């Protein structure tokens, strides 16, 4: 069976309501928003958006209207969406607009955005203080808020201007100030001893090096989407990424998911044009793509969480982009540059 078929079969079995939400005209089911977004991204990344029902975009906008989006940008007053889920939902709106199904006008508030909930007076993203030492978690705010700003200026520039939203450039500049000039990683913390203590505890369950790279990747999706290359301390950042790709096989952790996309995207976008490791990187991503395809052909089942699927598929697309391939391995479609097109995943 093809990868396209396997993913659709997985969605039918494990996300039937979310799949119906996008593909059946007039359907009245209201799945949880994250599952709806995961399913849309998955359909996009297997080249299946032709399955969208004619009313699917409007239905998504109405569903968003039942939630409170971060920064007061939406129309809803229901359950609050955090920064990550808001950026993710805006990514769906970006893809829908590019697909000729714009739905943002029905989803975004004209006036009354609360920019100060997202940004401080320096236009720097706000984040919960208790995540300061957690590079991967804090990246959801330091990267997610610029992604929201980028998407809003892309989708609704008149509303962004009316609501005095700072420019994406200003927000990204302020976010970049949180990057260490030597390592290329976040330095959102102030107390080195506390950071070392956190990393020692974190290492008991996860690799802090992967968390470092996963965290900074969230911000660099926005820098990349805005054409802000090279990244701050890009050579040091690529060295770390390359070392991780060398010692972690087949995936960063047990199964392919967004962390693999993080690392692959950094590798592709941080490597210098004249770096002698370019050919070796292409060879590594060829192997990586083969491993992802094998996993999705043999282990794509109920034990694999739906939210992991878009990240794993996006990693497969990154492999194709790194090799400048015309099609994605296992899928007869052109690769999707997710960070550039959606600003977030």
Closest to 258 (Cα-Cα) out of 215, 300, 295: 215
CA atoms lying within 13 Å on the CB side of residue 310: 22
In the prediction, which pLDDT does 159 show?
A: 97
Integer Cα distance of 23 and 265 in angstroms? 30
Those residues with Cβ within 8 angstroms of residue 273's Cβ, 6 or more apart along the chain or in another chain? none
Chain centroid to CA 21:
22
The pTM of the full predicted model, rounded to 2 decimals, is 0.96
Mean pLDDT over 24-45 rounds to 97
Residue 51 predicted with pLDDT over 80: yes
Mean pLDDT over 61-71 rounds to 96
Closest to 170 (Cα-Cα) out of 103, 232, 119: 119
Closest to 330 (Cα-Cα) out of 262, 256, 221: 256
What CA–CA distances, in Å, run from 214 to 20, 42, 179, 271, 283?
Answer: 32, 21, 14, 16, 22
Residue 221 predicted with pLDDT over 80: yes
Integer Cα distance of 151 and 344 in angstroms? 9
36: exposed, middle or buried (Cβ count in 10 Å: 0-12, 13-18, 19+):
buried
In the prediction, which pLDDT does 192 show?
A: 75
Is 291:280 a contact under the CB 8 Å cutoff?
Answer: no
Q: What is the DSSP letter of 327?
A: S
Q: What is the pLDDT of residues 160-217, one digit of tens each?
A: 999 999 999 999 999 999 999 999 998 877 767 666 766 767 676 778 788 899 999 9
**C-alpha gyration radius of the chain:** 19
What CA–CA distances, in Å, run from 189 to 186, 241, 262?
Answer: 8, 22, 22
């Amino acid at each position: 069976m093809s990868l396209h078929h396997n993913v659709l079969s997985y969605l039918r079995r494990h996300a039937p309501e979310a799949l119906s939400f996008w593909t059946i005209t007039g359907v009245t089911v209201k799945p949880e928003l994250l599952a709806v977004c995961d399913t849309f991204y998955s359909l996009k990344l297997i080249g299946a958006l032709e399955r969208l029902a004619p009313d699917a975009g409007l239905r998504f906008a109405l569903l968003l209207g039942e939630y409170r989006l971060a920064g007061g940008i939406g129309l809803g007053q229901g359950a609050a969406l955090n920064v990550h889920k808001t950026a993710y939902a805006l990514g769906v709106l970006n893809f829908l607009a590019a697909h000729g199904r714009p739905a943002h006008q029905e989803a975004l508030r004209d006036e009354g955005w609360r920019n100060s909930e997202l940004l401080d007076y320096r236009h720097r993203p706000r984040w919960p203080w208790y995540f300061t030492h957690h590079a991967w978690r804090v990246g959801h705010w330091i990267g997610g808020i610029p992604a929201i700003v980028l998407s809003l200026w892309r989708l609704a520039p008149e509303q962004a201007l009316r609501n005095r939203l700072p420019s994406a450039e200003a927000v990204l500049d302020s976010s970049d100030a949180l990057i260490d000039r030597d390592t290329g990683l976040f330095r959102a913390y102030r107390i080195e001893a506390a950071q070392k203590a956190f990393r020692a505890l974190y290492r008991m369950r996860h690799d802090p090096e992967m968390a470092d790279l996963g965290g900074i990747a969230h911000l660099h999706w926005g820098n990349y989407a805005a054409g802000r290359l090279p990244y701050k301390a890009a050579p040091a950042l690529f060295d770390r990424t390359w070392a991780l790709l060398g010692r972690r096989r087949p995936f960063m952790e047990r199964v392919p998911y967004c962390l693999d996309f993080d690392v692959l995207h950094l590798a592709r976008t941080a490597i210098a044009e004249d770096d002698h490791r370019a050919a070796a990187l292409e060879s590594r991503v060829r192997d990586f793509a083969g491993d992802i395809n094998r996993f999705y052909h043999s282990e794509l089942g109920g034990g694999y969480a739906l939210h992991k699927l878009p990240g794993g598929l996006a990693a497969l697309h990154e492999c194709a982009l790194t090799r400048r391939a015309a099609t994605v391995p296992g899928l007869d479609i052109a690769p999707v540059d997710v960070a550039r097109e959606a600003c977030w995943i």
